[in-house]
A and B are shown apart, each in its own frame.
Chain A
Amino acid sequence: MAEINTFEKEAEEMTAMHVITKNDKFERTGGGFVDLTYNGVKYERVKVVRLFPFTDADKYISIRENTDKAKEIGIIEDLEAFDEETKEILREQLRLNYFTPVIQKIMSIKDEYGYAYFHVMTDKGECNFAINMASNAVTKLSDSRLIIMDLDENRFEIRDVNALTQKERRKLDLFL
């Protein structure tokens, strides 16, 4: 066909799978973002997206163009395969893009008229938050793994309910 249809081209491109390896170069930008040179093309301020944020956070990371369509440049299959510096550059971006504190210790849960107030220690430090008990604030990822969404839509994770002490679990029981 003489005329190349842009949509057809786009649909075709979506099926391609590109893998980014340690030979491709990631560089910090002056403003705290990252550029990628892939196959000789430099992509500025790329987006770093986790494909399996809960089950395998550091594997299968999609690197996408910084446009409205956010076209995929390629996929990193395992972050561990990269050198220390690149790993740190990418981790910085992941920290900016994902903020899900993991609850390590429950100091107290107070419930008052339909809202529960948590005081917890997370891997990001101590904090307080509140959830609406009437809404589905708690999502079960598995039998022992929870995501709690607070009123502001911050997300908190409990990796393993069974690792909490008996006392902590009793406090949590109301929401499990």
Chain B
Amino acid sequence: MILKYDVSPKTAEKIPLGEDERIYYAIPYDIDKDGSWLKGAYLFVTTKKIHVFDGEEIKETIEIKDLSRAKAEAKVGGGILVVTENGIEKVVVHYSAKHLSRYAYIARGINILISGRFEEVESGEYEKMCPKCGRAIPGTKYCPHCSKEGGFLKEFLAMAKPYKKDFFGVFMLMVLVAVTTLLNPEIQKHLINDVLKGNGGFKQALVLLLIMFSLSVSIVVINFFKSNASTKLGAKISADLRMALFKKYQALPLAFINDRRPGELLNRITQDTTYIREFMEDVFCNLFAVLFIFIWDIIFMMVLNFKLAILTFITVPIVVVLIIGFRKVVYRIFHLQFRKNDDVSSDLQDVISGMRVVKTYGREEEEANRFKHLSAEFARTQRKNETFWALFYPMISFLMGMGVVIVVYFGGNDVLKDKMSAGELYQFITYTTLLFQYINWMSWLPRELTLLTSSLERINDILSQEIDEKDEDTLVDLQIEGEITFDHATFGYKSYQPVLEDINVVIKPGEMIGIVGASGTGKSTLINLLMGLYEVDDGHLLIDNVDIKNIHSKSYHSQLGVVLQETFLFSGTILDNIRFSRPDATYEEIVKAAKMANAHDFICNTPDGYNTYVGEKGYSLSGGERQRVAIARAILTNPRLLILDEATASLDTESEFMIQKALERLTKGKTTFAIAHRLSTLRKADRIMVIDGHSIAEIGTHEELLNNKGIYYNLYKAQIG
């Protein structure tokens, strides 16, 4: 994301810069005092000052030394940059949502300057609109339209390179198709000229017919092989890309995944690779054949009858324009119908899934009326469209045939004047038909190519992400004792928004720490750091006095046990799920672990025992059962470090009791971190940590905190009453 825009020299001139002063950030703001759009206005941040430039001149200058804080506040449809100048909060600029995240970085940059440091903030986020061409960027770093010269060809070739042989095969088959397609009209000419009009005998006719027959058959056969080969090739490429993407996703840091919507990442694996396969099957397999035929078609036409050929070509642009125009209209009206259809079905879904509410409030009649209105509207559009279709469909066929009509008229004249033979005219007509057929096909090409480029761009965007590889030599395998030290640890998912600030605490081996605090204060974040899913931005997290960054992640995770609130079970059997943490565990160990987790008895009561299939995400088990399977999974590794995130919330009292018992057995003698909203579940904790305002607000034993009469005291009173 751009934080320093290039401004015109005329504007840059107006920014006064003292010695040792330079421009750090230059970003537009686009709303003026009256709330109207503004163009050409910028906010400049230099080493010492903030200048507000309204497009003409500097309207306001703020000295950074007078400031104590800067904040970018998000509002509805925009935001404001607020600074605290000599203790007074002040609006600096107002901007639309376009610059919302940009200003969040700027506020952070100003705060750094206020604190007397001179680092420059950078943003790894991507622009949504191309600053060069103004087009939308499909979720990639560079705009596919203007990033690279001949970008499409280069990327396509890079993708195709490993499959050189297969591509060559498909290409040869395409040439064969083209040759046979073009030969057919030539034979037909001979049939008409030599046999029908001339004096050719039955034998000659038979020979020609036989050649025509075998050509037709070979077109079918070659096409079969060609489609087959390109489908295989497409499937192979997309399968390889899918695998490459999947591997990359697993290797990428979680921060990268979290920056993007999960649906988007899923789409790159499923939709974008599918698109590449479809392109190979539907477009690429014909691409060269069509181009080849097209060129020879034109040459043959010109050789046969130059004047007639030129006449036909003149109609081509007209037909192309008409086809494209017609297609737009068709798209528009059917899109409309599609949307109305959508409205009807989503309304229907709404009412049916909300049937209980509709009935309890006695609103059946109103709902029926509303639906009737929608349905009538849909029917009306549909009827209109069908009429349109019936009327105009013949028109497009007429358009396509327009060239042929011209050819028949003028060509017929030539035949009558004996300038051209009947066979040649026939051949010419066939070539004309081919020509228009392929023009129609090719008019889709730009669209297909752009879609392909976008897909390739999105895939490459992931594949080209760099991952900082850790140096294997500095990593150690650690037998964890269980002492955990947070040393000035600071962390935020977004660099400009710290979630945890300056956490300092030492946890003794075997200690159980309860973590409480309101939602959104950073409890789960603390645990994410402990699980090694993220690395701290500042400070250190030490395990037995070794920085977690230097511990071999495989060795660390094998000594970690995790039970979360929403237990994730993979679709598979109970056995598979328990074994997930240690694939080499024996049956005896698994049964033991299940018994420890109070899971053995319910497992025995299912018909398939440990081989019971748990369904997708484990939904055939109840919440308590899933949780106990997860605990068994954690017990199996005999972890040194245990993390329980709301492990017993959302369970009924009986299962909670069973799970509490199982957890007590599990946590004995192990360093444990347990998040809980229900404080009663933390009564066994050695110390309780209250997180509030991004840091540890209180820490101590239950009694100590109660005597403190702070946050914990209030929470406890609210729950116990």
Most buried by A among B35, B80, B88, B128: B35
Task: Give the interface segment out of A15-23, A78-86, A148-156.
Answer: A148-156
Do B91 and A96 touch (CB < 8 A)? yes
Given A3-B717, A125-B36, 8 more contacts at CB 8 Å?
A32-B90, A32-B91, A96-B80, A98-B77, A99-B77, A125-B37, A152-B98, A155-B76
Main secondary structure of the interface of B (DSSP, over half): mixed
Do A151 and B128 touch (CB < 8 A)? yes
Nearest Cβ in chain A — how far from B112, in angstroms? Answer: 22
- The verdict on A151 contacting B136 (CB below 8 Å), with A5-B717, A32-B90 known, is yes
- The verdict on A7 contacting B37 (CB below 8 Å), with A96-B91, A154-B97 known, is no
Q: B148 an interface residue at 8 Å Cβ cutoff?
A: no
Nearest Cβ in chain A — how far from B714, in angstroms? Answer: 5
Q: Kindly state the separation between the CA atoms of A7 and B129 in the bound complex, as whole angstroms.
A: 47
List of A residues within 8 angstroms of B37 by Cβ: 101, 122, 124-127
Task: Give the interface segment out of B237-245, B409-417, B446-454.
Answer: B446-454
Do A153 and B97 touch (CB < 8 A)? yes
**On chain B, which size bracket covers the interface?**
35 or more
Q: Kindly state the separation between the CA atoms of A174 and B10 in the bound complex, as whole angstroms.
A: 43
List of B residues within 8 angstroms of A98 by Cβ: 75-77
Q: B89 an interface residue at 8 Å Cβ cutoff?
A: yes
- The verdict on A132 contacting B718 (CB below 8 Å), with A30-B88, A176-B336 known, is no
Query: Which B-chain residue is minimally distant from A132 (CB atoms)?
Result: B136
Q: A6 an interface residue at 8 Å Cβ cutoff?
A: yes
Contact flags B91-102 to A (C-beta < 8 A → 1, else 0): 100101110100
Q: B14 an interface residue at 8 Å Cβ cutoff?
A: no
Do B77 and A100 touch (CB < 8 A)? yes
Contact flags B47-84 to A (C-beta < 8 A → 1, else 0): 00000000000000000000000000001111010100
Count, A-B residue pairs, CB within 8 A = 100
Contact flags A111-142 to B (C-beta < 8 A → 1, else 0): 01111010000101111101010000000000
- The verdict on A5 contacting B91 (CB below 8 Å), with A128-B134, A130-B136, A154-B97 known, is no
Do A154 and B134 touch (CB < 8 A)? no
List of A residues within 8 angstroms of B135 by Cβ: 112, 115, 117, 130
Nearest Cβ in chain A — how far from B40, in angstroms? Answer: 13
Do A33 and B91 touch (CB < 8 A)? yes
Contact flags B114-129 to A (C-beta < 8 A → 1, else 0): 0000000000000011
List CB contacts (< 8 Å) of A16-38 with chain B.
Answer: 29-33
Q: A45 an interface residue at 8 Å Cβ cutoff?
A: yes
What residues make up the interface of A, taking CB atoms closer than 8 Å to B?
3, 5-8, 29-33, 45, 53, 95-101, 112-115, 117, 122, 124-128, 130, 132, 151-155, 170, 173-174, 176
Q: Kindly state the separation between the CA atoms of A154 and B89 in the bound complex, as whole angstroms.
A: 26
Query: Which B-chain residue is minimally distant from A133 (CB atoms)?
Result: B335
List of B residues within 8 angstroms of A130 by Cβ: 129, 135-136
Do B454 and A113 touch (CB < 8 A)? yes
Nearest Cβ in chain A — how far from B131, in angstroms? Answer: 13
List of A residues within 8 angstroms of B450 by Cβ: 113
Nearest Cβ in chain B — how far from A153, in angstroms? Answer: 5
Nearest Cβ in chain B — how far from A106, in angstroms? Answer: 15
Q: B384 an interface residue at 8 Å Cβ cutoff?
A: no
List of B residues within 8 angstroms of A132 by Cβ: 136
Q: Kindly state the separation between the CA atoms of A156 and B198 in the bound complex, as whole angstroms.
A: 74
Do A124 and B35 touch (CB < 8 A)? yes
List of A residues within 8 angstroms of B336 by Cβ: 173-174, 176
Q: B332 an interface residue at 8 Å Cβ cutoff?
A: yes
Query: Which A-chain residue is minimally distant from B144 (CB atoms)?
Result: A113
Query: Which B-chain residue is minimally distant from A131 (CB atoms)?
Result: B136
Nearest Cβ in chain B — how far from A112, in angstroms? Answer: 7
List of A residues within 8 angstroms of B80 by Cβ: 96
Q: Kindly state the separation between the CA atoms of A52 and B679 in the bound complex, as whole angstroms.
A: 39
Name B451's contact: one of A29, A33, A113, A174 (CB within 8 Å): A113
List of A residues within 8 angstroms of B419 by Cβ: none
Most buried by A among B37, B76, B135: B76
Q: Kindly state the separation between the CA atoms of A124 and B454 in the bound complex, as whole angstroms.
A: 34
Do B76 and A53 touch (CB < 8 A)? yes
